[in-house]
A and B are shown apart, each in its own frame.
Chain A
């Protein structure tokens, strides 16, 4: 892979590492990379045709570089857009937290296939998924013995941090979130209420102690 001219060595290394990590996943042979670095403080990398990835795979990207601003997912064009501050530019700015938006479920949405005991959390998840974008999208629910799969397709560009917050909020019910780029869909695995919890996705917060 050629080094990009407009990037500092550290930023180039970050780009290479992201590529290495994603290339290790199955189905990444057709992936392509575009880098935009003309702005003085920020650069963007766009991964075209990435493989099927879980939310955990995506969540590892900000861990590789503290300067990552946002990771946006475009399922329609099968692209991941990573925006980051350039070397020595990120420390000045504070990252903003993402709040979940709740939208009322329009009356023409059909959730009759969901069992009564699961309706409350499925509707709650759906309200937050609706808050992800302003635009309509296609959604379908597949019924399984232990869980539901909520498949979302034809959705506008959205921020991956929002999905991470959603998973955190409903960690007792959302078992897994998969971005299926080849199929241009996002699959949310929702646990049924009558099935015991096996593993909960947890977000551990580190407590820092200041010493003088």
Chain B
């Protein structure tokens, strides 16, 4: 008896469709952009570009802009052996919440102040000659 643990998602979301549409070049009808799949935990996806004749800086910068336009971070890897380009699109890393650091700073400074205050209180009174 076999039971499925997980089946990979094949349905493309809106961002995938828009990126594929943007990358597809009408001047090069042989070029084919295919959806390879999602990454674990739904953290982005990968596209593959096939049948490329040439690739230039300009092409790559256009592709980068298309992906970044969807709020994603592109990582482009070219395989010269089989003439394919893999485009990994991942969501940008979230910035760390600064609130935690501010709270820590407040707690630390309060603690330091009280330590100083208690230390001052326990000092013998200063006698002037």
Interface residue ranges, A against B (CB under 8 Å): 36, 44, 103-104, 106, 108-111, 113, 126, 130, 134-143, 149-151, 154, 156
Contact = CB atoms under 8 A, between A and B. Distances in A.
Interface of B: 1-9, 36-42, 46, 81, 88
What does DSSP make chain B's interface, helix, strand, loop or mixed? strand
B41 A106 contact: yes
A12 to B, nearest CB: 20
A139 B39 contact: no
Contacts of B5: 109-111, 126, 139-141, 150
A134 B40 contact: yes
Contacts of B46: 134-135
A139 B9 CA distance: 12
B105 to A, nearest CB: 31
Ranked 3 nearest A-B pairs via Cβ? A136-B8, A142-B2, A139-B5
B6 A103 contact: no
A141 B6 contact: no
A105 to B, nearest CB: 9
16 contacts: A36-B81, A103-B41, A106-B40, A110-B3, A134-B88, A135-B36, A135-B39, A135-B40, A138-B7, A139-B4, A139-B5, A140-B4, A140-B5, A142-B1, A154-B8, A156-B37
A19 B65 CA distance: 46
